[in-house]
Amino acid sequence: MDRRKAIKNLALVLGGVISATTVGILIKDFVIPENDNKKFSFSATDEDFLSEFADLLIPTTKASPGAKAAGLGAFIPMMINDCYPADLQQTFATGMKEMQDKCMSQFNKDFKSLSIEDRTKIVEETSKESLVDINKPSFFIIARDLTILGYFSSEIGCTQAREYLAVPGRYDGSAEYKPGQKAWAT
């Protein structure tokens, strides 16, 4: 099975968690022509920024490591380059730069140097801006969706953030759920 087909199948499973924009990109039956799939070049700084962004959305807790530990800084650029058409790659790159510029204009620091409170403020502002036109793809929506997809399909997300049973038993529709128990990954 190729990566695109595997991602489409995963998107169907996670469809309730991921926005229509991302599901549309992952499920849409088209092949991106080679000349249309312009690869945006992500730098190490961009990957650090995306890692910090993702870790703000899914932070480390006592129960499990966060998005940064799951390697989302490298996962998000890989998905953008491999699965998104050129116009959405450009939308993502432009939105990422705008968010970084907002950090510099408001705090005179880059995102990574900001306190958690200031990072949260910037992300909340960016989130609100993305809701102005929910039918238009935005950096925030794409990055949020890829953070969720990447984290809950990573080893950390499947085995530490959720209950995991490597060899499942029979189906039990009325299995006992204990208060505080994690959701099942399988």
Q: Please answer whether residues 61 and 111 qualify as being in contact, where contact means their C-beta atoms are separated by less than 8 angstroms.
A: no
Mean pLDDT to the nearest integer, 146-157:
92
Is the distance from CB of 139 to CB of 61 less than 8 angstroms?
A: no
Domain boundaries, the chain: 3-159
Has residue 132 got a pLDDT over 50? Answer: yes
Q: Which tokens go with 133?
A: 């036109």
Distance of CA 46 to the CA centre of its chain: 14
For residues 79 and 186, which has the higher predicted lDDT (pLDDT)?
79
Q: What is the pLDDT of residue 2?
A: 59
pLDDT tens digits, 8-55: 565 555 555 556 555 555 555 445 555 555 677 899 999 999 999 999
Dihedral of CA atoms 131, 133, 135, 141 in degrees, nearest 10, equals: -30
How far apart are the C-alpha atoms of 86 and 178, rounded to whole Å? Answer: 47
Give residue for tokens 């993702």: 54
**Burial bucket for residue 31 (CB in 10 Å: 0-12, 13-18, 19+):** exposed
Mean pLDDT calculated for residue range 105-122: 94
- Give residue-wise pLDDT tens across range 52-103: 999 999 999 998 999 999 999 999 999 999 888 888 999 999 999 999 999 9
Q: What is the pLDDT, as a whole number, of residue 29?
A: 45
Supply the DSSP symbol for 163. Answer: B
Find all residues with CB under 8 Å of 51, minimum gap 6, and list them. 67, 68, 72, 73
The alpha carbon of residue 106 and the mean position of all alpha carbons in its chain are separated, in whole angstroms, by 25
Whole-number CA gyration radius for the chain: 18
Of 17, 72, 15, 19, nearest in space to 48 by CA: 72
Mean pLDDT within 100-108: 95
